[in-house]
Amino acid sequence: MKNSIKYIFCTLSILLAIGLQSCKEERLDVEPVNEFLSSNFYETEEQIFSGLIAAYDPLAWSMAYGQWISYVMYGEIRSDNANAGGDPSNNDQPGWQEFDDFTNTNTNTVLQPLYRRNYIGIFRANTVIENADLGTPLSERYKAEAKFLRAFYHFELFKNFGPVPVVTRLLAPAENDLERNTMSEVFTAITTDLEESIGVLPTTVSPDEAGRITKGAALGLLGKAYLYWADLDNDDVQKFDKAADAFQDVIDLGIYELEDDFQNLFALNVRNTNESVFEIQHNNLWSSDWSWFEGIDGNGILQLCGIRGLCELHPDYQAGWGFMLPTQSLNDHFLGDDGYRRDVTLTDVAELEAELIDAGVSCNVIVDITQGNPIDNTGFWQEKYSNWKSYEGNNVNGGDPNLTKAQNTHMIRYADVLLMCAEALHRGSGSDGTAMDYINIVRERAAGPGDNTGSFNTAQDLMSQNGWSLQDLIWYERRAELAGEGDRWYDLVRSGRAASSLFTGDGDKEANFSDQEHLWLQIALEETSVAPMLTTYPDASLFN
């Protein structure tokens, strides 16, 4: 899908070679050959498809403009699930250290890449939407995919920066003085795009189209958008009901199911399982290197978040750079009967040593913690995005194998759909009984592979044993199920639990956090300098 991506936004010109000895006037006065401009490019389905692939491309960027911009890392490091990590200086990747400690300002180096990545995607999606006018079924599908992508990029912008400018058309170069829209305007644009795409998108795609947007992906994102909107709009019951309807539509498609073994979702070379509703595709086909930051099609966080100082004799993992270190709070979150799910999510020295023993090797030092950040280290490392030795990086033409590892990024899993549906039913006007049924499906799988009927604590059991409300149970399940996948911070912000969650004693989070300054990211100084009406931080009046 991405093999043509690198070239389609440049004007495609082949210059005629004219020898100096042949510079006659009639030879210079020629028609352009093989030249495409925006005004004459989108005339075939193939050309529209090329534009669509360009709109997909920013989804997979691990870096942009010299900065790591992982969806997963921000949602974990900003939250109580993880700290930044890195080298012993506690200043490795300073932009991410600032995110971790809530000391970021509008000059943070990661802000503009996070912001621009999504607006580049929006521009490319708008280009397809405005030019895909052939009226054929295939071109209409391409337009529907582009509308999903435009909605996704707007949603990601909102999750990070709050109400942002909505851009649903191609802008002239002079139209750079944008200002923030209201929350309602942002979510109206998002949900409209998704609702218009759902009826056109296919329910399934062929294996060679893996990663292309489907009806289920659009319904899942629609439900998620309504869920966030309802939560932030004074617990709006009608919006929760709309979220529940969208999630139920995903369930009713009957094509998704949970992987029997939770661990298999994150195993080496496992991609696009039956649990995948929306999964960002990464590959090692391009020779990405440090000078081509937007060319990274691999999943950069495998190396970035691998175990720093790991013994090189480990049979499965190679050492990484030690970012996204799990907190003690996350380890302590898992209940005693939730050990299997915990072990898929986290590892520690004891588990690493057991793996070495099983492989018949030993190390004097299993993990040299002096190589890592002493402030952020708690003795735990994340495992869902493991730095597998068996990933073959492509270092052709100077590419860096650390940047070209091919594990996909889970954006919406079926387990997530079930838990979000349970929440929307409970907080809307739906059935709590159905909500608990959906939670129990997730809990049965969490107990381990195989049939666990009758041998796991059900939703009803946990509520009784712990004195929990159904909402307490939902919060427990979301953190336990999705830990290490990037949802935690956004769940905390939308539900008003960010401040209370950070008072855990992990790092400097609780000392620096302010509800008035840190729920949302500032828009970078580079952007507000060219758009004076664009406020750095969203005003409370925009949340209507």
Helix (H) or strand (E) holding 63: strand 63-64
> Coil, strand, or helix at residue 83?
strand
Average pLDDT, rounded, for the chain: 90
Q: Give a yes or no: residue 540 inside a domain.
A: no
Q: Is the pTM of the predicted complex or chain greater than 0.85?
A: yes
E strands in 215-261: none
How confident is the model over 16-20, as a mean pLDDT?
31
**Structure token digits, residue 539:** 């005003």
Type of residue found at 149: L
C-alpha dist (Å) from residue 132 to 46, 145, 148, 537: 11, 11, 15, 36
Q: What is the pLDDT of residue 406?
A: 83
Type of residue found at 413: R
Contacts of 353 (CB under 8 A, 6+ apart): 366
Q: What is the pLDDT of residue 6?
A: 36
Q: What is the pLDDT of residue 504?
A: 60
Total domain count for the chain?
1
**382 phi and psi angles, rounded to 5 deg:** -75, 150
Show the 3-state SS of 140-191: HHHHHHHHHHHHHHHHHHHHHHCCCCCCCCCCCCCCCCCCCCCHHHHHHHHH
Confidence of residue 34 (pLDDT cuts 50, 70, 90): low
Q: Give a yes or no: residue 396 inside a domain.
A: yes
Cα(45)–Cα(543) distance, integer angstroms:
40
The least confident of 158-167, 239-248, 265-274, 296-305 is 296-305
Q: What is the pLDDT of residue 4?
A: 38
How confident is the model over 397-418, as a mean pLDDT?
86
C-alpha dist (Å) from residue 478 to 73, 193, 483: 17, 27, 8
Confidence of residue 257 (pLDDT cuts 50, 70, 90): very high
Q: What is the pLDDT of residue 397?
A: 53
Residue 126, burial from CB neighbour count under 10 angstroms (0-12, 13-18, 19+) = buried
Q: Which domain holds residue 394?
A: 282-303+390-407
Cα(171)–Cα(49) distance, integer angstroms:
22
**202 phi and psi angles, rounded to 5 deg:** -75, 155
The answer to whether the beta carbons of residues 246 and 252 sit under 8 Å apart is no
Q: What is the pLDDT of residue 408?
A: 95
Confidence of residue 41 (pLDDT cuts 50, 70, 90): confident
Q: Can you tell me which residue has the tokens 């790591």?
A: 68
Task: Give DSSP secondary structure letters for 116-140.
Answer: HHHHHHHHHHHHHHHH--S--HHHH
How confident is the model over 450-463, as a mean pLDDT?
96
Q: Give a yes or no: residue 286 inside a domain.
A: yes
C-alpha dist (Å) from residue 359 to 313, 355, 362, 381, 403: 9, 6, 9, 20, 28
- Please say if the pLDDT value at position 171 is more than 70: yes
Contacts of 232 (CB under 8 A, 6+ apart): 183, 494, 543
Cα(187)–Cα(190) distance, integer angstroms:
5
Q: Give a yes or no: residue 236 inside a domain.
A: no
Q: Give a yes or no: residue 395 inside a domain.
A: yes
Pairing of strands 276-280, 323-326: unpaired
Q: What percent of the chain stands above pLDDT 90?
A: 79
- Please say if the pLDDT value at position 152 is more than 50: yes
How confident is the model over 83-111, as a mean pLDDT?
96
Helix (H) or strand (E) holding 416: helix 414-427
Q: Give a yes or no: residue 291 inside a domain.
A: yes
Q: What is the pLDDT of residue 367?
A: 98
**Structure token digits, residue 354:** 């057991």
Q: Can you tell me which residue has the tokens 């661990």?
A: 263
Rg (CA), the chain: 24
How confident is the model over 223-252, as a mean pLDDT?
98
Cα(226)–Cα(255) distance, integer angstroms:
23
| Direct distance between the N- and C-terminal alpha carbons of the chain, in angstroms, rounded to an integer | 39
Bridge partners of 276? 413
Pairing of strands 409-413, 276-280: antiparallel
Cα(379)–Cα(447) distance, integer angstroms:
24
Show the 3-state SS of 295-364: HCCCCCHHHHCCCCCECCCCCCECCCCCEEEECHHHHHHCCCCCHHHHHHHEECHHHHHHHHHHCCCCCC
Q: Give a yes or no: residue 185 inside a domain.
A: no
E strands in 369-487: 381-382, 409-413
Q: What is the pLDDT of residue 38?
A: 61
Cα(227)–Cα(290) distance, integer angstroms:
38
Q: What is the pLDDT of residue 288?
A: 57
Q: Indicate if the alpha-carbon torsion angle 466, 468, 473, 476 is positive or negative.
A: negative
Q: Give a yes or no: residue 400 inside a domain.
A: yes
- Residue 189: CB atoms within 10 A of its CB come to 19
Q: Which residue, among 116, 542, 4, 76, has the nearest Cα to 301 in the 3D structure?
A: 76
Is 359 or 21 the better-scoring residue by pLDDT?
Answer: 359
Give the CA angle between residues 119, 120, 125 to the nearest 5°.
Answer: 90
What single-letter DSSP state applies at residue 272?
Answer: S
How confident is the model over 481-501, as a mean pLDDT?
96
The answer to whether the beta carbons of residues 278 and 221 sit under 8 Å apart is yes
- Please say if the pLDDT value at position 29 is more than 80: no
